[in-house]
Amino acid sequence: MLKHSILLFLLFISSQLTAQVVSNEPHQIIFQLVDGDSTTHSKFIRQLNNILEAAPNAKIEVVTHGMGVDLLKIKNNPFENPLKQLKERGVEFVVCENTLKQRNMKKEQFLPLAGFVPSAILELVMKQEKGWIYIKAGG
């Protein structure tokens, strides 16, 4: 009986140590944003900040396409400062060049913090192939 109890105790301790090691690894999260609604953008920015509070070493990339690229436009952007703060904390924001073509937009219309990728879907696929966790942002 004592051997059984000791074995269970060691098994429990071992599982706790493993859980701590896993949680200390930097999380790699890629978000897909296609929603152009400013309420959605506000909630999304709050969620990004919440993630970074809980996991400051998380690697985060936000891939925007469709109407989601509006989050990163320069003109009348109420989120410019929060986006800059997120960028300073390591969050990467990218815009789909296919969307630019479809919506007849130019790179100059976007905040300087925005990067560009040829295809949003391909960017999402490549990150997932490298082990990044995919989350669709918004509705």
- In angstroms, the CA 37 to CA 54 distance is 26
Residue-range domain boundaries for the chain: 26-136
- Dihedrals phi, psi of 31, to nearest 5 degrees: -105, 140
Query: Structurally, what CATH architecture does the domain formed by 26-136 represent?
Result: 3-Layer(aba) Sandwich (3.40)
Reported as a single tens digit per residue, the pLDDT across 60-98 is 999 999 999 999 999 999 999 999 999 999 999 999 999
Please provide the average confidence, as pLDDT, over all residues in the chain. Answer: 89
Reported as a single tens digit per residue, the pLDDT across 108-118 is 999 999 999 99
Residues 15, 20, 25: CA angle, nearest 5 degrees: 130
What band does 1 get if pLDDT is binned at 50, 70 and 90?
low
Residue 102's closest CA among 40, 45, 34? Answer: 34
pTM: 0.82
* Angstrom distances, CA of residue 93 to CA of 48, 77, 113, 117: 12, 15, 7, 10
Reported as a single tens digit per residue, the pLDDT across 11-50 is 555 555 444 434 577 899 999 999 999 999 999 999 999 9
